[in-house]
Amino acid sequence: MSTGVKLLVIPSIDIKNGKTVRVVKGIPELDCKEYGDDPVEMARIWRAENFKLIHIVDFDGAHERSKKNYPIIEKICRSIIIPVEFAGGIRTIEDADEIFEAGVTRLAINTMAVENRKEFIKLFEKYGPTKICISLDIKDEELLTCGRSVRTGISYIDFTKEMVDIGITRFLVCDISRNGTLQGPNIELSKHVAEITGAKITHSGGVRNKDELMDLQNLLPLGVDSVIIGRALYENRFPCQKLWRVAESGIFN
């Protein structure tokens, strides 16, 4: 791009039972031999690789509302000097307060915004759009909640418009059918959300190679400014690593 702005690449650390897991179509699977089972060490590795932001998903929190992984989250936040974005199990303002106190910089909310709109609005009013964004887990144009396990019957189009009206300025967009499959990203989905909301978009799921990163970077003018990648990064599928590791200053907003 002539402006020098780069797509921000964000490594994902998905945690279940205190260990790093691989997630395929929304279903977490232990894969310790391939990826290593220590989320804290993984965060340190990504920091050493010069990434600018880490995305963490707590599947125990999302499915069971368990907080057993919170000490690990806090240790990650203490161990690295880059921001941590968190998703999984935040249902109340008290939950949010606790995870922010652990050191998390931004929350990606899904279920709470669907099931308890009044509480979510209070949360958003307390922390604002730089601290709270919306995670869109989508399958066949339908919004999924509760760690991608519950089909809501709600159109993601209607929901995103409601969130924009509240004041949301960033969406994390994931086509669950592509997540962790290395079958290619659903770029059109992220593009569509950007077009109908005018918000900033973080794409998630399906990215396999640098060419697909370039396809996403072409959407920068629409507001698609970042991408969350899990399996492809863990499997070292990007030979031109320096290409994406220069993040635009001020991207975290």
Q: Residue 242: pLDDT above 70?
A: no
pLDDT at residue number 61: 86
Q: From CA 167, how far away is CA 62, in angstroms rounded?
A: 24
Averaged pLDDT, 210-239: 89
Residue 206: predicted pLDDT: 87
Asked whether the predicted pLDDT for residue 253 surpasses 60, the reply is no
- The DSSP output letter for 228 is E
pLDDT at site 103: 97
State yes or no: pLDDT of 249 exceeds 80.
no
Mean per-residue pLDDT, 14-18 = 89
Instruction: Give mean pLDDT, residues 2-16.
Output: 83
Segment 26-77, tens digit of pLDDT: 555 544 344 567 899 999 989 988 899 999 999 898 888 899 999 999 999 9
Predicted pLDDT of residue 98:
97
CA proximity to 202, closest of 1, 4, 11, 70: 11
Dihedral angle sign, alpha carbons of residues 214, 216, 218, 224: negative
| Cα–Cα nearest to 72, from 38, 100, 107, 23 | 38
Least confident of 34-43, 80-89, 121-130: 34-43
pLDDT tens per residue, range 177-214: 765 556 788 999 999 999 999 999 999 988 988 889 99
- Return the residue matching tokens 């402006």: 3
pLDDT of residue 243 exceeding 50: no
| pLDDT value at 119 more than 60 | yes
Convert the pLDDT of each residue in 88-111 to its tens digit: 999 999 999 999 999 999 999 999
10 Å Cβ neighbour count for 152?
17
With a pLDDT cut of 90, the percent of the chain lying above it is 63
Burial of 127 (0-12, 13-18, 19+ CB in 10 A): middle
Domains, the chain: 8-239 (3.20.20.70)
Report, as residue numbers or ranges, the catalytic residues. Answer: 14, 137
Please tell me the predicted confidence (pLDDT) of residue 152.
92
Best CA proximity match to 209, nearest among 173, 244, 174:
244
Note if the pTM is more than 0.85.
yes
